[in-house]
Amino acid sequence: MDPPKIRRERPPPPFYDQHLHEYINKKVEAVDGAISTHQRHLQQILSRSTVMNQELRSPYSRRQELDQKMSTIERRISSSSGQLQLIASQKIGHLGKIAAFSARDAQLRKQLTASNTLLEQKEHRLGIATFWKAQLLDTERSKGDFLTHCRSGYVSYINALLPPILSRLCLDSEQLLSTQQLLEFQLTADFRLLPSSDALSLARRSRGQLTRTYLTLFLAMFVTARSRMPFRPNFMFMDEIIDALDEAGMDGLRSWLAEYLRQEGGRAFLLTHREVPGGRSIEVIKEAGGGTVYRLSEQRGQP
């Protein structure tokens, strides 16, 4: 066991002053307190500097973040602008196609309207043709009443025109035409010529009288057709109507017919195989291909 250590007190230094020692200790303690205080202030300043540095770095980071967001937004805007331009060009193309389709639709509608109108007209004509075909078939079988009624009205109108036309034919200035009583006739509903009671029968009439009889009927039918047609025919062709007449009768009939048509309005072409003074000839030309050409001469015969 070690012997106990004896604590030896340090002898006071020379020239030791207790009051001075206490004063110096208090000064040292004051200096330590001031140093501690300054250290705390310095720590606070360092902390504030760190916070300020962080605060200063925070806007910069925020700015970088905002710049990145702005770049992203600008890229999106650029992409959207390109898409909008593409959509605009596609819209223009679609509008052009819509305009073309609209024009085509209007054209097709117009064609459809024209086709429907034409179809309605054809259906109307077909209905009329079917109706009249049925009437004609009925007439062939049983003399249908409706067609007989229609004929009666048409024939009645013609019969009303026969006497005045025949009367004018019989007023020939040279008395070359037969009297009216001998040539009077009526047209029946089935289009047969029925001489009057005091007139000559058709079998007893001469060729000239038959010519005048048929001419009267033809002129009455011509007047009837002109009154019922939507247009007025101004000329008619008469084939070999003067072939049965002598020279005097032919001249008289031509003069009378010219005066009659001048009053009624119209022209007549008299076709005959005879040589007629003042007439024009028709040249018939057979072509190599099998066709036929009719050429009217420009020169008139001498009367």
pLDDT per position as a tens digit, 173-199: 444 445 778 888 998 877 788 998 888
Maximum alpha-carbon separation in the chain? 205
CATH number of 143-268: 3.40.50
Q: How far apart are CA 105 and CA 117, in angstroms?
A: 18
pLDDT band at 112 (very low <50, low <70, confident <90, very high): very high
Write out pLDDT tens, residues 56-98. 777 777 788 888 888 888 888 888 888 888 898 888 988 889 9
Report the C-alpha gap between 116 and 112 in whole angstroms: 6
The CA-atom distances, in angstroms, between 22 and each of 28, 31, 57 are 10, 14, 51
CA angle 53, 54, 60 (to 5 degrees): 95
CA–CA separation, 74 and 250 (whole Å):
109
Report strand pairing: 292-296 vs 282-286: antiparallel
Identity (one letter) of the amino acid at 290? G
Task: Please name which of 171, 174, 138, 146 lies closest in space to residue 246, comparing C-alpha atoms.
Answer: 174
Query: What does the pLDDT look like over 139-182, one tens digit per residue?
Result: 555 555 555 656 777 888 889 999 988 888 877 544 444 577 88
- 273: CB partners within 8 A, 6+ apart: 240, 243
Which DSSP letter does residue 192 get? Answer: -
In 3D, which of 220, 195, 223 has the Cα closest to residue 210? 195
> What is the chain's Cα-based Rg?
66
Beta strands in 192-272 (DSSP E): 193-195, 235-239, 267-271
Whole-structure pTM value: 0.48
